[in-house]
Amino acid sequence: MKTPSTYQAAGVSIDAGNAFVDAIKPLLKKTKRPEVLTPIGGFAGLFSINKLKYDEPVLVSSTDGVGTKLKLAKDLQSFRGIGVDLVAMCVNDLLCIGAEPLFFLDYYACGKLQVGKAVQVIEGMTDSLASINCALIGGETAEMPGVYQDEEFDLAGFSVGVVNRPDIIDGSGIAIGNKLVGLASSGVHSNGYSLVRKIVADRGLDLRKTYPGFSRPLGEVLLEPTTVYVNPILQLRKQFPLLGIAHITGGGLLENIPRVLPAQSRALIRRQSWPRVPIFDFLQEQGAVENHEMYRVFNCGIGMVVVVAAKDADEIVSRLNAAGQPSYVIGEIVARGKQDEAQVVIEES
């Protein structure tokens, strides 16, 4: 007689999935907005835009993940911050268009669902989303044995926001003489971790050791969650014209700032205009990484760059700092000559 085949025997636990949903339901309530029309567990999430105070609402969408930072989280068995990273990587991109984040969905794929680990991720997500009034209206959890090893998992996030059509930030108003305001990052954020992990492996670095210049173990420094810039930027948008916004993610300063610049302009950045961040100096020294490579891989201490009118720059920096977001005037927009290939020039001194 043949042994009956079951989903459980194939490596997928329906019971674990149900337990996970039950465990996160209280967490999801923290992100509830009145516009959400459906409970968690349906086939799709409904969000009404009828009562939003926008005359010409335009929906804005973004998707992202957290890359191989997941490997460090697994090595250190610390997962809450990864949930914050996932939210930040998506909603910060919405800000670059001037959009207010409305709702969020996540995709969690794994070899074997470990409920405790997954709940930590959702805790980070929901705490972060609640702080910016963005609803978690759905998601997907997929056990995929054979695709992922038992303890391996991957994350993807999907966010939707809204902006008034006249208020879309597209960089078209950027002009020569505008200033660049840099908002400080909390650390490496969620990009460049393949290089980070190579440096750690090549140099035999101990993630649990506190190295000179740091007050906590290296692994904790590297897992510091990505800064969520939503609240300070949305407040700033009400007070000043923001001409362009670049989220400094994969591609670093050199490749993200040009995404918002007109072709005839270039960004001149003065490296000495913001404090050096120990983790980047440490990685550069340990990996013998050249400056140009640092600037095109890492944020190097600046997680978001905002282009503003010169007359507003100092006041904007003052207000951001007063709101608890360290910020600096880091450069200006200059003319780009016919022979100038690079749209970002970083002066070291």
Q: What is the 3-state secondary structure (H, E, C) of 35-63?
A: CECCCCCCCCCCECCCCCCCCCEEEEEEE
According to the model, what pLDDT value does residue 340 have?
A: 73
Q: Mean pLDDT per 10-residue run, the chain (349 residues)?
A: 70 78 85 88 87 93 96 95 98 97 96 92 97 95 89 94 96 96 97 97 97 96 98 96 97 96 94 95 97 97 98 98 97 88 89
Determine how many CB atoms are found less than 10 A away from the CB of residue 62: 22
Beta strand 179-184 with 100-110: parallel, antiparallel or unpaired? unpaired
C-alpha angle 222-247-58 in degrees, rounded to nearest 5: 135
Give span(s): CATH 3.30.1330.10, the chain.
Answer: 14-167
Task: Note whether 137 and 49 are within 8 A (CB).
Answer: no
Say which CATH class 179-347 falls into.
alpha beta
Give span(s): CATH 3.90.650.10, the chain.
Answer: 179-347
Determine how many CB atoms are found less than 10 A away from the CB of residue 1: 3
Buried b (16+ CB within 10 A) or exposed e, 92-103: bbbbbbbbbbbb
pTM: 0.94
According to the model, what pLDDT value does residue 99 have?
A: 97
Task: Note whether 128 and 166 are within 8 A (CB).
Answer: no
According to the model, what pLDDT value does residue 1 have?
A: 66
Q: Which amino acid is at 9?
A: A
User: For residue 244, what are the β-bridge partners?
Assistant: 307
User: For residue 108, what are the β-bridge partners?
Assistant: 141, 155
Fold of 14-167: 60s Ribosomal Protein L30; Chain: A; (3.30.1330)
Determine how many CB atoms are found less than 10 A away from the CB of residue 225: 22
User: Strands across the sheet with 302-308, in order?
Assistant: 244-247, 302-308, 179-184, 327-335, 265-270, 344-347
